[in-house]
Each structure stands twice: as C-alpha cells, then as structure tokens.
Amino acid sequence: MSNGFNFTERVRKVLGMAREEAARLHHEYVGTEHLLLGLIREGEGVAATMIQNLNVKLEDLASTIDDIVKRGSPGTPVGPDLPYTSRAKKVLELAMSEAREVNHSYVGTEHLLLGLIREEKGIGAQVVIDSGITLAKARAEMVRVLGEGMPTRTHVPRASAPQQSLWASSGELSPDLPERVRVVMREGQNVATELGSADFLPIHVAIALLRHGHGLANAVLDRLHCDRSALLRVLEGDAKREARPPEPEHEALAGPEMVAWERQLVESFGRWRLAPPTTLDVLLALLDSRPEIAMAFEVQGVTADRVRAEGKRISG
C-alpha cells in the first residue's frame, strides 16, 4: 500500500486509533469515518492544527460522526486486523498522491486529511466538507502551516556541498533557502530600514517573522496562545531604542552581530545536511542566542523549550 512512501509514526498512530474507533463502534471494518476519528483523537499533528486553524473544533467533528454513524451489535466479534473499506483504501491512495504533489517522500497527517477530503463521498469527507473545510482551504492551510518545508520539484538537496551561510557568494540570499525563510530575511532588512537602524540585527528578523504571520513558527506560536500583536509592539519599541541612525539614503546592513547569529543558525542545523532551515529553526535560533528577544517572548509564556516541544507535536 505504501508504494515507496513512508507513513510517519504519527500517521501509523492515527491508523491504529482508527481501528480502535471501529472496534468501539462494534464495526467489522475501518471506514473513512474511523480514519477521521483517528485524526481527531490523535489531536496534535499538522492535520489537527489545520482543522483548528480553520475554526472547526475537533470535538464537534467527532460529535457529528457519532450522531451519523450507527453502532454495530455489541455481540459482534471484532478482531485486531479489521479490513479497510474500498473508500478508506482510496483515502490512503489519495494521501500518497497529495504527498507526491508537494514532492514529499512521506505521508503525514496533513496528507491523510487532504486525501480524506479529496475522496469526497465517504462519511469522513462529508463531515469535514459540511464543517466548511474544502479541499482548497485545507491545501492552503497546509501551505500556511508547513509551507517552508515543502520543496519544489526542481529542488535537489546538495548533500555533498553543505550550505555554510544564508547568503550566496553573489551577496543575495541563498537560492537553497525555502522561499518563506527568504521572505522573512528580506523583510527583516526592510524592517531595520523602516525603524531607522543602520544595522540589520536579529531583532529585525524576529519582527519580520511575527509580521509575516505564516509558516511553522507562527503556527507554533498560535498553539502556545502567543499575543503576536503585543509582542510586536515590545520588539519594535526595543528595536527603535537600540537603533544606530543610518547614513542618508543608505539601507541597513548586516554587521558582526547579525553574522554571528546567522552562523549559529547554520551550525545548529547541521549545515543543512538534510534540508534547509524552516521558520521554526529561525525562531529557535533567535530564542536560543538572543537573551533580549527570549525575554520578550517569555513574558508571553513562550520559551525555546515550549516551542521545540510544540513544534515536535505538530510535525510529528
């Protein structure tokens, strides 16, 4: 069934929970409704984050399924190896197709949710679609949550030449960086200029990251109930107070402080041997290496340890 795709440990957990849900309902099969119940019960992967970000409560979906689905006879024997229905098998095939479309070599809960919706006719699909989550909305939310981790089909990791810097020899941002990280870094330099600083500093990257509002880092901050608007006001105030006035008509330039921070980011991520850094890695590098930034986040109850733990829960 995997056809060369690896189901993540979290997806395997979801499939196991789907079987348990089928047994709970005294069903002799695993259908699309049980797959959805498994996603809901697991509750912490990318799929669960996508659903909640689209303003749908997991418990509401579960309640709807319980209202729709008829329970089997309590006396019906249920074995450990329940067969998948044809629709459930189709969901798994479509999940692999969704993973293939974004050039992922694994199937995560996000792909499983997309496959469930794309199947259209099963109970699971109908419950999700009736809640207002369309395939287009779900795909867009996956990009919002996990976009920087989605390589294009033309990108080929160069394991034999590990990346040493965020910048290419031309002075431009490295083309190997995910587009979302490139956007945040470019906007960080614009933030420095906007706030009247001659120097492009890590605090400007933090401000740009929060203003960007998308990507895995911001999804984690949302899960940690971080008030990004309040945090932005604090960081922007700090950046203005510490700004060294620029020369007229000169843009902010990265100085030694920025270079040192970038070096720590690259080195902490193993010089990108497997994949380039995501916005979550950028956020963690800021929290780990810049005490003044970490203190501002800590007021919101956000620490590097909590960010790491929540990032692991989301991405599986």
Query: Same structural domain for residues 65 and 136?
Result: yes
Q: Where are the beta strands (DSSP E) in the chain?
A: 6-7, 106-107, 199-200, 253-254
How far apart (Å, rounded) are the C-alpha atoms in residues 154 and 159? 15
Last residue of a domain, one of 134, 149, 164: 149
Is the pLDDT score of 73 beyond 90?
no
**pLDDT tier at 162 (50, 70, 90 boundaries)?**
very low
143-156 pLDDT tens trace: 877 765 454 433 33
Together in a domain, 145 and 14: yes
* CATH for 259: 1.10.1780.10
Considering the domain architecture, whether residues 279 and 215 belong to the same structural domain is answered as yes
pTM, entire model? 0.59
Q: Does residue 299 come out as left (phi exceeding 0), alpha (psi in the -120 to 50 range) or beta?
A: alpha
Lowest mean pLDDT among 27-31, 127-131, 176-180, 192-196: 176-180
Write the DSSP assignment of 157-186 as a string of letters.
--TTS----SB-TTSSBPTTS-HHHHHHHH
Residues 249 and 190 grouped into a single domain? yes
In this structure, are 208 and 139 located in the same domain?
Answer: no
Same domain, 99 and 11: yes
Closest listed residue to residue 65, CA positions, set 98, 24, 28: 24
Task: Specify whether 183 is located in the same domain as 236.
Answer: yes
Q: Is residue 159 part of a domain?
A: no
Instruction: Quick: pLDDT tens for 11-62.
Output: 888 989 999 999 888 898 899 999 999 999 988 788 888 898 888 999 999 9
Last residue in a domain, options 133, 149, 165 = 149
Same domain, 215 and 133: no
Is 275 part of any domain?
A: yes
Q: Which of 7, 72, 5 is nearest to 34 (CA)?
A: 72
pLDDT at 118: 92
Q: What's the domain count of the chain? A: 2
Tens of pLDDT along 268-296? 655 444 556 788 888 988 888 888 899 89
Determine the pLDDT at residue 99: 85
Q: Has residue 155 been placed in a domain? A: no
State how far the Cα of 123 lies from the Cα of 83, in Å rounded to an integer.
Answer: 17
pLDDT of residue 229: 92
Strand-strand pairing, 106-107 and 253-254 = unpaired
Q: What is the DSSP letter of 198?
A: S
Q: Cα–Cα distance between 265 and 165 in angstroms, integer?
A: 9
Q: How far apart are CA 229 and CA 3, in angstroms?
A: 45
Report yes or no on 289 lying in a domain.
yes
pLDDT above 70 (res 173): no
Q: Are residues 203 and 69 in the same domain?
A: no
Q: Which of 97, 131, 149 is the last residue of a domain?
A: 149
Residues 135 and 11 in one domain: yes
Residues of the domain holding 73: 6-149
